[in-house]
Amino acid sequence: PTPSTRTACPWPRNPLSTRKYGEEWGVPRADYRGLFEFRVLEGAQAGLSWDTVLQKRENYRAAFDGFNPQRIARYDRRKQQSLLRNPGIIRNRLKIASAVKNAKAFLNLQKEFGSFDTYIWQFVEGTPRVNAWRTGHRVPARTPESDAMSKDLKKRGFNFVGSTICYAFMQAVGMVNDHSVECFRHDQVGPRARRPQPTTRGPLTGPRPAPPARPAAARPCAHSRPQQPRTRPATRPTHA
């Protein structure tokens, strides 16, 4: 389709989701607070609709100290009990406890790798996967990359990080471009997209060990239709 005939993907159905779709979804990001925010929100969404989470997003930012992992990691039982009484967020005991547990694991991982983005972007080798789905084709709910991410995060102490949740996270933070090719956003967030340089890596730094194991090659997903997407890797710019 030509630019003048392109439309948006069909899933945004209200002002909040339309705004997220037009400004954030699929845009590569590396800021540690933004990445942690989506890590928390994707876990909170488990079993619910994304619209439910979006409606409570500002309340989450207020309740969880702007998604500051250093502060959240220090939440004690009393603080968690107060969050359970907050009607502005999803009052699920396991999900609130998960945010605290994951903040601690996040800080440990950040210390080990120097930054969370250094760790997480290794699952796509630092370059977003740009797919070529057609409108009407079902996008897979998980991939070998999200399987590997899920397995490694669990090993490092995270929870609410199943492969489906990890793939939704990858879509949200631009590690994969799943806009349909008919969508005007497909080319806006690809094919020149790459892992951005973070504005800040947070207060913790440390040595950068070898990357976690990744799948050798992508395999067809059981949730996808027989016809597989055409994937073209984004072009990395040449550095001086």
Q: Which amino acid is at 206?
A: G
φ, ψ (nearest 5 deg) of residue 173: -100, 15
pLDDT per position as a tens digit, 5-61 = 456 555 556 666 556 655 677 788 889 999 999 999 999 998 898 888 989 999 999
In 3D, which of 44, 71, 72 has the Cα closest to residue 57? 44
For residues 152 and 90, is the Cβ–Cβ distance under 8 A?
no
87 vs 21, which has greater pLDDT?
Answer: 87
pLDDT at 1: 43
- Averaged pLDDT for residues 106-129: 94
Q: What is the pTM of this model?
A: 0.74
Q: What confidence category does residue 212 fall into, taking pLDDT thresholds of 50, 70 and 90?
A: low
pLDDT at 227: 41
- Averaged pLDDT for residues 173-197: 67
Q: What does pLDDT average to over the chain?
A: 77
CA 236/CA 119 separation, integer angstroms: 19
Q: Is the dihedral of CA 29, 35, 37, 39 positive or negative?
A: positive
Report the residue count for the chain.
240
pLDDT at 35: 95
pLDDT per position as a tens digit, 138-172 = 778 899 999 999 999 999 999 999 999 999 999 88
CA 228/CA 139 separation, integer angstroms: 10
Cα angle: 206, vertex 212, 215; to 5 degrees: 160
